[in-house]
Structure 1
């Protein structure tokens, strides 16, 4: 049995995959200590892990970042995104490292496993000389010489001119990173007692093992994928029993009558319903569909009066809802998109903040849905996109194809097998992949 720390930023979209990893490791008999914010203590305890609180790191509530980090504001736009990086991601890193170093001093640790944006784990791993692994909770952010820079609003180029464009873009991004990102990273490193480094965000990813959610076909191909990167499908815990709203039978009735079911979700981080939920409701109000909305925890009353063909709840279990869904309209959280594709559900994505534009581009590129190229679509735009998806059965077929590949990639069990190869003194399990790509 190994003693393993599994670290997660206290964001709902990060906690989901990291609890799956923690559960898989505890199921194999390991002593797992979950390092995350107080809001998500019980989620990890339910996965069988013990809890290590954020103490030196500034804890926060992901539903109201501005309460703890006022410069973040609503998190939108370039200013909000940069403030999120500086104050939340990098700003808490040194405190995370201090917490982890203190814990390792109390009781030795064999392995560190981290949400790739919990940067303090990289600092602690470097200081302690421990093996550590990154789990990509967003689309794989690792730079490639064959792709545009991560986060840049462009699809992979074709032909010599396109490749020249991408080389130029990477040069520009490197120059900007050297002036903007590297100084922020090095302030975090200095606060943790480490010397300066270069390489921007890539320097904070493990070079021992990266577990990438997704599969080839849903992510861009790259010939320079390092051998320490493995696609492992979708990371999700086994569903637990959840009460269903009284209107739930309406969903099955709609399917029985041949009425398409459209699921609309805005996740849990972006809470301005005028961005997507309300335009989608307005756009689909007179369509021959049943619209099923989730508010991410907010009261349903915050949506106002609902049309006759709309049902809403704070949360709904995706394992129950998605098999009955024909189209999912979303702001592009990677976990929700992977859940939809695994269930064979095509998508309409309206994403504008953080990694969501990257997700939206992959959805369109892979053929599993439509990218609306905005985070605030009009009602008519949502309506036309849903009509287009329903009229094109090949989009749903492509979602089913990639969904089967996501399932076959192994998920949390494949992740645990790969992680065990890093534990000192353990040998590679039979069947654990030694080359990059999909875990076997």
Structure 2
């Protein structure tokens, strides 16, 4: 630990809204504790971090991009959905930008060395920069853990672990298939290490996203599949962002929600893949004639309009203030964004999860495994599937009981403060390298 007791902290954040909000809370916690904080992220989100008192550093060598139009910067993503999109996103947005990210970070280190880099778990460039500067690296896993395990199927398939000898054989075979399917991504990772001037380090690509010193995992153990090989340096920290009265403005029709005598069902399309045909449209078709008030968030604050009509019992906004909304919600229909799922569960709301790609099928599987909701097993469910899910969650009290149980566990944590506490403990016990200078 530095002699003054105050640390120089570099926070690395992939420039997506779903990553920025929780990491802004972490940055604020470090600033409020008196530490020097710089944040490396895309230009669209820099103001979010300066607002909490941190110094923002923008992607420069790494290609800055608009999360709502990834294909403008990464044309190879155009027209892809499902598994093909997931693989292409991981390879081109997260992996093939890693060396350039690390170049930006190393320049910042040369200008003013940091004591520790605290990184969004999908910021692979921070991992490379940590190696290049020989400084500690803390992973903040803002999506469910995808650390490989001998007890689990591949994380992106959205499967709960199987049981029995045949089930374990299934999972072992799926792990082998997943490794083969990710061959191109592994090659890209090796190439990025070479571009950053780094040799092989003995860690597999699946392990490369996670620090070997400290992983602060969002969520609670009740939402994590049981495994026998979870490392002791993985700690659960609950939520990083709690629903408050601030945030998005209340829409003009808010009084109808506040006065509604009918149960309120919230449907959210998330903030990344925001095609409303995927989830909002089938939810409208499923619940348009049910005795509920449907409140939809399109994920686009700049344009909340829809390309199809809303039923009479639906209200639509781009974004909504969860501190005001969630206490009034009976059931939530979600695309599986982890932050929104945790916010709903913290409010004791049972879930209907339509996880289509990236980490979202895994989120859906965890929610179902915990008993706090149902997994629709598709990012584009039919109206009939949504209706069946709503009826199950609305009529079986066990879902609400389990959501309340998880809410109690989440309430025991104060995520951002715990990230600071665990990070400082790591620095206090770690011996600095002989020469902490960039290579």
Category of TM-score, reference length = shorter chain: over 0.9
Corresponding residue number in structure 2 for 1:86: 91
- Report the 3-state secondary structure (helix = DSSP H, G, I; strand = E; otherwise coil) of the residue aligned with 1:275: coil
Q: Pick one of 284, 300, 322 that aligns with 2:287.
A: 284
Corresponding residue number in structure 1 for 2:3: none
RMSD: 1.8
Corresponding residue number in structure 2 for 1:34: 39
Note the C-alpha offset of 1:175: 4.8
Q: Pick one of 282, 301, 306 that aligns with 1:302.
A: 306
What does 1:13-412 align with in structure 2 at a 5 Å threshold? 13-177=18-182, 179-197=183-201, 198-236=203-241, 239=244, 240=246, 242-254=248-260, 257=261, 259-297=262-300, 299-412=303-416
> For residues 51 and 387 of structure 1, do their structure 2 counterparts lie closer, same or farther at Cα, with a shift above 3 Å needed?
same
Structure 2 stretches lacking a partner, 5+ long:
1-5, 432-439
Note the C-alpha offset of 1:74: 4.5
> For residues 176 and 266 of structure 1, do their structure 2 counterparts lie closer, same or farther at Cα, with a shift above 3 Å needed?
closer
Is the CA contact (8 Å cut-off) linking 1:19 and 1:237 kept in structure 2?
Answer: no
Taking the aligned partners of 2:178 and 2:279, their CA distance within structure 1 comes to: 31
- Report the 3-state secondary structure (helix = DSSP H, G, I; strand = E; otherwise coil) of the residue aligned with 1:326: strand
Is the CA contact (8 Å cut-off) linking 2:24 and 2:52 kept in structure 1?
Answer: yes
> For residues 56 and 300 of structure 1, do their structure 2 counterparts lie closer, same or farther at Cα, with a shift above 3 Å needed?
closer
Taking the aligned partners of 2:253 and 2:158, their CA distance within structure 1 comes to: 40
Taking the aligned partners of 2:210 and 2:381, their CA distance within structure 1 comes to: 34
Corresponding residue number in structure 1 for 2:418: 414
Is the CA contact (8 Å cut-off) linking 2:264 and 2:328 kept in structure 1?
Answer: yes
Note the C-alpha offset of 1:112: 0.1
> For residues 241 and 191 of structure 1, do their structure 2 counterparts lie closer, same or farther at Cα, with a shift above 3 Å needed?
closer
Is the CA contact (8 Å cut-off) linking 1:349 and 1:370 kept in structure 2?
Answer: yes
- Report the 3-state secondary structure (helix = DSSP H, G, I; strand = E; otherwise coil) of the residue aligned with 2:128: helix
Number of equivalenced pairs: 423
- Provide, for residues 172-223 of structure 1, a one-character-per-residue CA deviation record: whole Å limited to 9, x for no partner: 434555x433211111101111113551131231000001111111111112
Note the C-alpha offset of 1:128: 0.9
Is the CA contact (8 Å cut-off) linking 1:55 and 1:99 kept in structure 2?
Answer: yes
